[in-house]
Structure 1
Amino acid sequence: MFDCQGHIIDGDNNGYDYGIYLSGKQNNTIKNCVITDFWMEIRLDASSNNKLIGNTVVNSTGHGFGVYLTNSSNNTLTNNSMNSHNQCGIYLLNSSSNTIISNTVNSNDVFGIRLYGSSSNTIINNVANSNPYGIYLDYSSDNNTIANNNANSSWYGIYLDYSSNNNLLTNNKASSISLCYSSNNNILTDNTVSSSKHNGIKLDYSDNNTITNNNVSSNGDDGIDLDYSDNNTIANNNVSSSKYNGITLDYSDNNTITNNNVSSNGDDGIDLDYSYNNNITSNTVTLSEYNGITLDYSDNNTIINNNVSSNGDDGIDLDYSYNNNITSNTVILSEYNGINLDYSDNNTIINNNVSSNGDDGIDLDYSNNNTISGNTANDNAYEGIFLDDSHNNTLMGNTANNNPDDGIFLDSSSNNTLTFNTANNNSYGIQLYISSNNTLTFNTANNND
């Protein structure tokens, strides 16, 4: 055991030197040292089963490091303070099965804690604040556990990069969490991610990750953002007060977004751009500044059993999006339309409650070959169902009652089929204006003005 008892080991602030250096050593304990002004304050090289306890290391010279482990395993770093280094507080290079617990790693110039090619480490209860990167894993740093850490006031709180896979991130408080460049099969659960300058949780070219039970709030861009990332699960998260969208998918396919509470975001609640075959189910999306759920140039998605209410534009909005399934959603109290389709064809809109919206219940503009069936579109401010320059659509078994204008209104729309619809207590039950070759059979329109 080497116990400094609080004494100082002071370097000359010049050159590539070490305060304490272990090479090929095992079973040593270094404790209660104050080490300063070396290139690396403590370095372990090919050393195992050592303990670093209660040391204070500060002010490395040049591109310096607090504690540097290379090719070292089964070491324990506990209750150390490693602040204000030019490069990194704790750096593990090709080092595995180490335990880093209850250390303070603040105000370093680049990284608080960095793992490079290092796997099966445990990083628990550390404070890594005010670093550009709080905790950073890259180049196949796999199977690590990162739990109960605080990585706030950093540009990136926790960052996984370049094929860092199968890591568990749980119960951390971080300004952001990012998974980039083939960081796959990671689990992010029960984290608090807030007050980021950019996205709260960001996935970039990363697949098969699970993001669940996180609280993501007050971030400077989107709450959760997926770019070119497929087959991920986003479930049971609270996503609120983002500057832009709550959840965004760009060029991201086959993801599942389910049981999230998405509220009070500055743009859309959930936004898909050029994203295909995603499942959006059982989410609550409220109080967005613009749309609740938006699909732009996004095809073959499923939107089922969502509660979409009190959003500042449309409840569900599709633009240039095809072959989507919108079923059994509750879409109410939108500022404008409940469900809106612009230039969107071959979609299925079935069994939705689209009522009490500030414009129309369901609105199709320049949208063709859609099926609108079994929906309830009552008590909207204008029309229950409105087709504008939209053709070859099927409206079947819908209820459009108590709308101040029309129950169902077709404007410049041809070759549509309307059958078994009910349109009662509106200004007009069913109205066709400059619309030809439509088929109306077995509809009910009573007590209209």
Structure 2
Amino acid sequence: MKRGLVKFTFLGIGIFILLFLILFIPNGKSWAGTGATFYNCSGCDDCSAAIGNASAGATIFLNTSLTWINQTCINFGNKSNVIFDCQNYSIQGNGSARSIFYGVYLSSVNNNTIRNCNISSFYNGIELSFSNNSILTNINLTNHSHYGLELSSSNNNTLTNLILNNISNAGLYLQQSSYNNLTGIVTNFNSYGLALQSSSNNNILNKIIGNFNVVGFLLDGSINNTLQNSTFQENSNFDFTNSINSCNNNLINITGSGNRPIGYYNNPVIIQDQTFSQLILCGANNSIINNVTIWGSDSLYNNDLRIYGSSGVIASLVNSSYNYNGINLYSSTDYNDSILNSITNFNRYGISLSCMNATLTNITANNNTYGVYLNSLSIRSILTNITANNNTYGLYLYSSKNNTFNQITTNNNFVGTYLYLSSNNNTLNNSISSNNKYGLYISSSNGTIVSNLTAKNNSLYGVFLESASYNNIITNSFIQLNNGSAFALNNTGSSPQANYFYNNYFNNSLQYSNISTSSVNFFNITKTLGTNIVGGTYLAGNYWAAPNGSGFSQTCTSSTDGICDTSYNFDGINYDYSPLTCIESWSCGTWSTCANSIQTRTCSDANLCQTYKYKPIDSQACISDLGGHTAPSGGGGSSFISTITNITPDKPVEITINNPSMDLNSLILNVKKEFSNSSVNITKINPTTYSLITGLPIGKLYQAFEIEPGISNSNIINATINFKINKTWLADNNITFHYKGSRFWLLENDIVGNVILYRNPDGNSTWIPLATNYSYQDNQSYHLYAYSKGFSTFAIFLNKYDCLPNSARCDNNEVQLCLGNSTWLVTEHCANGCGDRKCASSFFVSEQFRFLSIVIVVAVVIIGLILIFYKKKHKLRKIRKERRKHKKKKRK
């Protein structure tokens, strides 16, 4: 019996050992042979081989983190219908942007699952090429040099709970991929959060977050996609962008920067009295937009009003300021859109036109990089009453033709009006281009007609022509008091392909700069009857004056026809053969009341000759009357008061604040309509009441004040508020100030903060942060500035973040990334706990451990049953033996 028991006990133990060997240590490798259900691997080649040898439906587990990988790591080869589970272990590449390696690579395989992975520092984190019906879930993809996840010609895949951050190109990129389902995608700090190219019928639904990218979401040549219940915020250029061939998509409940909605319409619509973070009309013909504000981020210049491929759109009373683009019109055919009575200030492009037959009327486009920009698709458009001041380029034409510009004002820009490669009858009428570096700049452009231009007080040239510009006409214009010269010519061609200047009024110390001596141009036409620019009876050449009265036309001899008797020779090549002279035409007002034995009158020359040969007397002796006047009295008080006598839309007013108790330097005010005789009252709020101010975030209130402009905020286009922070105050509060360019930040005991000017527009507890920038520093203070769309109560406030942006922490079994402003972003869910700002490794493969436990229990049960069975059998045999023994005794 004992031998039988021992024999069967060892048989049970042998069965257990055999099961263990088959399941866990086959052939001396860490993965199982063909026919097994679970696999275990610990290296790139090991895992790829395990996948290749796995049976359909099998699961391959990664049981360790892989680092500094210098190859494509996990390659599915031709294997379909398997599961690869990283179990939250990491796969890290070598970070080289020059090596095209993938963390996980699938090509021409189907029905696979990838889950629970942390993949970083490859060319692409995961690549699916020609692979369908796969599932990717719970994956963290970071720091890749191209794409986080790329789907190329891959359809019907399901992507859930993905985090794609810090990717050089797109976090998630779909190319020619359709019918995929995406849910729970977080894609931040990339060039593009999500990008779809030539991809259709994808569903991108619920908890899609694309923040802090250059572009949040891109559609290029992609149609019939649905984007719903998603957020794209604080992306530096655009929260959303699309190409003109991507109109037919559905965007539902999309939130943009500033928690304002992104509006997307591809059918006719009427939109009125609304505010958007971004508004896109794509194929929305005959739509009407009225009294709409486009307001992107509160701290970035992003988003726009975009009208793509939409004909007959009328947009009026639009305010799209402090964005990346103000208004962007694009179409490749005659779409006849109109923009009326709108404001586009403080953008990269105030107005960008890439369309035909557009009409723009009563537009203000100030303080942009490009006030109004027309590119090669801009043909036959009409722009009237445009104000484009304080830009880099006021009006910029690139390869545009047959456009008409009327009543254009471009002051205080680097270049007032710039034409490049723009030809064929662009016409510029009744324009003012003053106080720029270049008033009018024409480069490689032909056939432009400029009339009634005022180019005055430009720091270099009134008119500059270069690079084979020819057959341009400049006439009936006032070009005067420019510091460099009236005009300059540089390689503008040779006769007869020349430029024509006639009937212009030049009044400059230096009239002409011919940088290339081969340039030959024409400065007069044949003497023709007609009123010229100085009131003479003939059209011929130009009037050449100088501020000191020594100009050629001011000193030449002339017969009675108003044309100088001799020609004006500039450089031996260029001549005005019929320069105009001026016939003085004086008229005087009445004499003033006699005072101190003198009386005066004002006399003016109707022809503005700036010669005084025939000027009447304007001062004479007289008998004085008794009289006097009372000078206005001044006053003072705790508030600073400044009187504004007159302000016009084309001339901002700067108010210097001379009050040592306030850390305000000045206000620069731009208005929509002219007004006069008003005042600005600034009152500093008593610091003892600061504790009563509510609604501001965590931090320190530096100074608060109230500005009462004396005019309605509705008449204010924008205002620049220049203020300062005292260095001694910062030092006393252990705060250090750091800056780079116009960006800056504060450090207080290693806690990051910032200075923000907040505005309280309506007296409640709502404070709006204004875009605040660093300007300069002096011995006492750091000087900053912010832009506001009106005046009310303001607070200079030092925000205090309770976390360092881009730092990490563990909380509630999650790894979280600090975004600043007390905002934490979940980047990883930890199945086995969290410590030291990362997920803890599991003790053993969780599913495998549970299976091993089941095997052990089954083996113990088998052995127990064997023992029980043989114990009972042994007892039964003993009873039988006793009975036989008892029977023998009876027979005896």
What's the counterpart of residue 345 of structure 2?
A: 240
Note if 1:195 corresponds to 2:296.
yes
1:387 is the counterpart of 2:489: yes
Residue pair 1:248, 1:270 contacting (<8 A) in 2 also = yes
Deviation at 1:385, TM superposition (A): 2.7
TM-score normalised by L of structure 1 = 0.62
In the TM superposition, what whole-angstrom CA distance separates every residue of 1:118-157 from its partner, at most 9, and x where no partner exists? xxxxxxxxxx9956899xxx8599xxxxxxx997546971
SS at match of 1:305: strand
1:327 aligns to 2:429 (yes or no): yes
Pair 1:348-2:485 in alignment: no
> Which amino acid in 2 is paired with 1:186?
S
Tell me: CA distance 1:248–1:360, structure 2 relative to 1, closer, same or farther (3 Å).
same
Higher-RCO chain (CA-CA 8 Å, sequence separation at least 6): 1
Identity in percent: 22
Post-superposition CA distance 1:35-91 (Å, at most 9, x none): xxxxxxxxxxxxxxxxxxxxxxxxxxx99xxxxxxxxxxxxxxxxxxxxxx69xxxx
Q: Which residues of 2 match residues 63-142 of structure 1 at below 5 A?
A: 109=207, 130=231
Q: Deviations over 1:77-127 (max 9, x none)?
A: xxxxxxxxx69xxxxxxxxxxxxxxxxxxx95369xxxx99xxxxxxxxxx
For the 8 Å contact 1:284–1:307, the answer to whether it is kept is yes
Q: Of the candidates 291, 297, 301, which is equivalent to residue 399 of structure 2?
A: 297
Question: Residue 300 of structure 1: SS of its match in structure 2?
Answer: coil
Please tell me whether Structure 1 or Structure 2 has the larger radius of gyration of its CA atoms: 2
CA contact (8 A) 2:302 2:322 kept: no
Q: Is 2:312 the counterpart of 1:208?
A: yes
Q: Does the 8 Å CA contact 2:288/2:314 hold for their aligned counterparts?
A: yes
Hey, what's the Cα distance between the residues in 2 that align with 1:424 and 1:408?
A: 16
1:215 maps to amino acid:
N
Alignment check: 8 A CA contact 2:544 2:579 kept? no
In the alignment, which residue of structure 2 is the partner of 1:357? 458
Which sits farther off after the overlay, 368-377 or 202-211?
A: 202-211
RMSD, matched Cα: 3.6
TM value normalised by structure 2:
0.32
Pairing 1:256–2:362 present: no
Q: Secondary structure at the match of 1:191?
A: strand
- Aligned equivalent of 2:408: 306
Alignment partner of 1:441: what SS? coil
1:322-367: CA deviations, max 9, x gaps?
1100110111111x11111111111101011111111111122231
Relative distance call for 1:393 and 1:129 in structure 2 (3 A) is: same
**Could you tell me whether the CA contact under 8 Å between 1:152 and 1:174 is conserved in 2?**
no
Contact 1:108 1:130 in 2 (8 A): no
Task: Please say if 1:227 is aligned against 2:330.
Answer: yes
Q: Distance in 1 between matches of 2:428 and 2:280?
A: 31
Q: Where does residue 75 of structure 1 map in the other structure? A: none
Whether 2:383 is the aligned partner of 1:280: answer: yes
Query: Equivalent of 1:412, from 518, 525, 541?
Result: 518
Asked whether the equivalents of residues 173 and 193 of structure 1 are also in contact (C-alpha less than 8 Å), the reply is: yes
Verify the 8 A CA contact 1:175 1:194 in the aligned structure 2. Answer: yes
- SS of 2:264's equivalent? strand
1:186 matched to 2:287? The reply is: yes
Query: Residue in 2 aligned with 1:168?
Result: 270
One-letter amino acid of the counterpart of residue 388, structure 1:
N
Correspondence for 1:441 = 578
Helix, strand or coil for the counterpart of 1:236? strand
The answer to whether the Cα contact below 8 Å between 2:277 and 2:303 also exists between their aligned partners in 1 is no
Question: Which string of whole-angstrom CA distances, capped at 9 and with x for unpartnered residues, describes residues 279-330 of structure 1?
Answer: 1110111111x1100001000111110121111x110010111110011011
Contact 1:415-1:439 within 8 A present in 2 as well? no
Identify the residue that residue 397 of structure 1 maps to in structure 2: 503
Cα deviation, residue 412, structure 1: 2.8
Q: Which has the higher helix share?
A: 2
Structure 1, unpaired ranges of 5+: 1-61, 64-85, 88-106, 118-127, 142-148
One-letter amino acid of the counterpart of residue 361, structure 1: G
Q: CA deviation at 1:237?
A: 0.9
Please give the alpha-carbon distance, in whole angstroms, between the structure 1 residues aligned to 2:263 and 2:351: 19
CA distance in 1, matches of 2:521, 2:440: 22
Secondary structure class of the residue paired with 2:349? coil
Q: Which amino acid aligns with 2:328?
A: D
3-state SS, counterpart of residue 393 of structure 2 = coil
Q: How many residues align?
A: 313
Q: Distance between the aligned counterparts of 1:224 and 1:187, measured in 2? A: 15
Q: Is the 8 A contact 1:131 1:154 kept in 2?
A: no
In 1: Cα distance, 2:513 partner to 2:434 partner: 18
Secondary structure (helix, strand or coil) at the match of 2:485 reads coil
Instruction: Write the letter of the residue equivalent to 1:443.
Output: L
SS in 1 for 2:285: coil
1:406–1:431 contact (8 Å) kept in structure 2 = no
> Aligned letter for 1:396?
Y
Question: Which residue is 2:542 aligned to?
Answer: 421
CA distance in 2, matches of 1:232, 1:276: 13
Distance 1:284 1:444 in 2: 34
Residue 316 (structure 1) aligned to one of 409, 417, 420: 417
Per-residue CA distance 1:380-410 (angstroms, 9 max, x = gap): 1111133333352221110011x23226868
- Output the amino acid matched with 1:285: A
Residues in 1 aligned to 2:340 and 2:255: alpha-carbon distance in whole angstroms: 23
The aligned amino acid for 1:282 is N
